[in-house]
Amino acid sequence: MSPFLLTRTLDEHAAESALRTDVLEGLRMAQKALPPKWFYDSRGSELFEEITRLPEYYPTRAEREILLARATEIAAASGARTLIELGSGSSEKTRHLIDALPALHAYVPVDVSESALAGAARELLRRHPRLLVHALIADFTSALRLPQTPGPRLVAFLGGTIGNLLPPERQTFLRAVRAMLSPGDALLLGTDLVKEEAVLVAAYDDAQGVTAEFNRNVLHVINRELDADFDPDAFAHVARWNPDEEWIEMRLRAREAQTVKIRGLDLVVPFATGEDVRTEVSAKFRQEGVKSELASAGMELTEWWTDSEGRFALSLAKAS
């Protein structure tokens, strides 16, 4: 069996430091905000997996449909011998792609969770015993030191996660991806597409309230990690469509005036009745917009695949 290699490029205290900085800066802003990455402790990850199975939440199903239908085309267009997946998690969807890449030599999953990386590697090596899996414990939004693996390389960023980045952050990220690419390498990008407002809002405000619980989980994380006294039930889950920016905004709205103590930061945060904390932006895209953003980062859109209902897209881009 091929080896499973694990490299830590993320300092073991980096997450704690980043959380402190994000909470301190975000809750001092006029428009309070917290980054969505802090949803994902073990409970948050379980809730998100539950969300992906909800009838209202179409992106996971739509992307899987494309991967199943187009994996052979993606493989032929990329010719990849190395697959690098940013924010790989369980690598569940990527297995369809790995199955279709006949010349694949190495898989490089990148994630902040060591347990997710190890679990995904065990399953992949069971299915593909000759595959080299070199996992990186790293934050994909920071500069990555990639292992030496054969090209062509395919960098995959799936799930529509790019929509969680604000436009300047997207450009910084795409330029960093472009810097990873050598001649013949490619980026496989998942993007959720603009559609009816009712469909979009329902995907982020399901009838069972799972997304609401997921949204409030960020407050549980802050309570636990920074010795805060948030009452999560004192905040309502809000999902709204911003038609000007073409993104969904998730917010936590204070049901009443209150004061929260975050002892780990020696910080007191007042909330007025109805005051919001923005916890996520999820941008939706159009093909021309994706093409333009890729071009601005030095990449050319060469392939565009959607699911049967045109809800979600996978695009392939190469260095221009």
Q: What is the pLDDT of residues 62-93, one digit of tens each?
A: 999 999 999 999 999 999 999 999 988 777 88
- Domain-embedded: residue 315: yes
Is the same domain home to 96 and 184?
yes
Give the pLDDT of residue 261. 98
- Domain-embedded: residue 25: no
Is the same domain home to 117 and 42?
no
pLDDT under 50: residue ranges of the chain = none
Give the pLDDT of residue 113. 76
- Domain-embedded: residue 21: no
Give the pLDDT of residue 247. 98
Q: Number of helices (H) and strands (E), helices first, in the chain?
A: 9, 13
Is the same domain home to 245 and 130?
no
- Domain-embedded: residue 13: no
- Domain-embedded: residue 229: yes
Is the same domain home to 290 and 150?
yes
Is the same domain home to 168 and 213?
no
Is the same domain home to 186 and 246?
no
Give the pLDDT of residue 154. 97
Give the pLDDT of residue 159. 93
Please tell me the total count of domains within the chain.
Answer: 2
Give the pLDDT of residue 14. 77
Is the same domain home to 95 and 218?
no
Is the same domain home to 263 and 187?
no
d(CA 188, CA 74): 8
- Domain-embedded: residue 17: no
Q: Which domain holds residue 40?
A: 30-54+197-283
Output the DSSP codes for 52-114.
TTSTT--HHHHHHHHHHHHHHHHHHHH--SEEEEET-TT-TTHHHHHHH-TT--EEEEEES-H
CA distances, 233 to each of 154, 208, 258, 306, 316 (Å)? 43, 16, 12, 39, 43
CATH code, domain carrying 109: 3.40.50.150
Is the same domain home to 294 and 226?
no
Q: At what angle do helices 210-226 and 14-26 cross, to 10 degrees?
A: 110
- Domain-embedded: residue 3: no
Is the same domain home to 229 and 214?
yes
Give the pLDDT of residue 137. 85
Give the pLDDT of residue 3. 77
Give the pLDDT of residue 205. 98
Say what the pTM is: 0.93
Give the pLDDT of residue 2. 62
Is the same domain home to 256 and 214?
yes
Is the same domain home to 165 and 117?
yes
